[in-house]
């Protein structure tokens, strides 16, 4: 199997549309940072802040709408984003589970040396404060980080970017390029190795099964398990 966009020469994403989405990502990230700085105390763990997590979801929604707009211009957004059934669900699910286990193992091995989770803010710097607000923040964090974020990122990096790059750079070149952009976009120097390997694995899964749905599952499980481990550490 190959991604639908690679099998259909009519499914193309112009570079100008990719630049538009990139601009939305930049603006959304800047607005998120400015508003968080204004509303969330500097010493607060953002993972326990309902305000911070709701702002994060809003940022992802804005990016997701831009991605959907760009995909819509192809005439077949569902296939352009890879939102099609894989050829074999058992194989796709099995590959997804193996990928999750491998990605988590690599991240766990690198964490003592790079402390990427702490850099990202997933590991709280202090015990959870008392009250209902921190609990609500943690619940919203799971929605933002383990559901909304992975879906939008897969549609962006594995869906839209693959649609834009696949014919020019081929399967392996596109996998490496989208993985590099995925890692760099997180702005986490210590997390670059693990993020690149995760992005590469997700791109290769898409190439293998011809659907981004298993990649969404992988990404959701990976983020959810990592977040749960950080909050219970």
Q: Is residue 4 part of a domain?
A: no
57 located within any domain: yes
Domain residues for the domain of 201 are: 12-231
Domain for residue 1, yes or no?
A: no
Tell me if 36 is assigned to some domain. Answer: yes
Is 214 part of a structural domain of the chain? yes
Assess if residue 47 is contained within a domain.
Answer: yes
Domain count within the chain = 1
Query: Does residue 5 form part of some domain?
Result: no
Mention every residue, 6+ apart, whose C-beta is less than 8 A from residue 37.
Answer: none
Answer yes or no: pTM beyond 0.85.
yes
Examine residue 130 and state whether it is found in any structural domain, yes or no: yes
- What's the Cα-to-Cα distance from 32 to each of 116, 135, 197, rounded to whole Å? 21, 22, 27
- DSSP conformation letters of 79-135: HHTT-S--S-HHHHHHHHHHHHHHHHHHHHHHHHHH-HHHHHT-S-SSPPPSSHHHH
| Closest-CA residue to 150 (of 60, 84, 81) | 60
pLDDT tens, N- to C-terminus, the chain (233 residues): 789 998 888 888 999 999 999 999 999 999 999 998 898 887 778 889 999 999 999 999 999 999 999 999 999 999 999 999 998 999 999 999 999 999 999 998 998 888 777 777 667 767 778 889 999 999 999 999 999 999 999 999 999 999 999 989 999 999 999 999 999 999 889 999 999 999 999 999 999 999 999 999 999 999 999 999 888 87
């Amino acid at each position: 199997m190959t991604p639908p966009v690679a099998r259909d020469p009519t499914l193309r994403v112009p570079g100008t549309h990719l630049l538009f989405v990139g601009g939305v990502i930049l603006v959304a990230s800047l607005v998120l940072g400015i508003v968080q700085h204004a509303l969330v105390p500097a010493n607060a763990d953002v993972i326990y802040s309902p305000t911070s997590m709701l702002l994060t979801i809003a940022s992802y929604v804005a990016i997701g709408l831009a991605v959907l707009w760009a995909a819509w211009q192809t005439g077949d957004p569902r296939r352009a984003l890879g939102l099609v059934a894989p050829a074999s669900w058992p194989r796709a699910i099995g590959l997804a589970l193996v990928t999750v286990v491998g990605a988590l193992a690599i991240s766990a091995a690198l964490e003592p040396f790079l402390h990427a989770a702490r850099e990202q803010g997933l590991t709280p710097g202090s015990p959870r404060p008392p009250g209902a607000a921190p609990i609500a923040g943690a619940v919203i964090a799971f929605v933002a980080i383990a559901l909304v974020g992975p879906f939008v990122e897969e549609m962006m990096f594995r869906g839209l970017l693959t649609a834009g790059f696949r014919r020019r750079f081929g399967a392996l070149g596109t996998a490496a390029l989208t993985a590099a952009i995925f890692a760099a976009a997180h702005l986490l120097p210590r997390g670059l190795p693990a993020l690149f390997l995760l992005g590469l694995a997700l791109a290769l899964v898409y190439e293998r099964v011809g659907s981004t749905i298993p990649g969404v599952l992988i990404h959701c499980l990976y983020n959810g398990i990592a977040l749960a481990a950080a909050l219970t550490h």
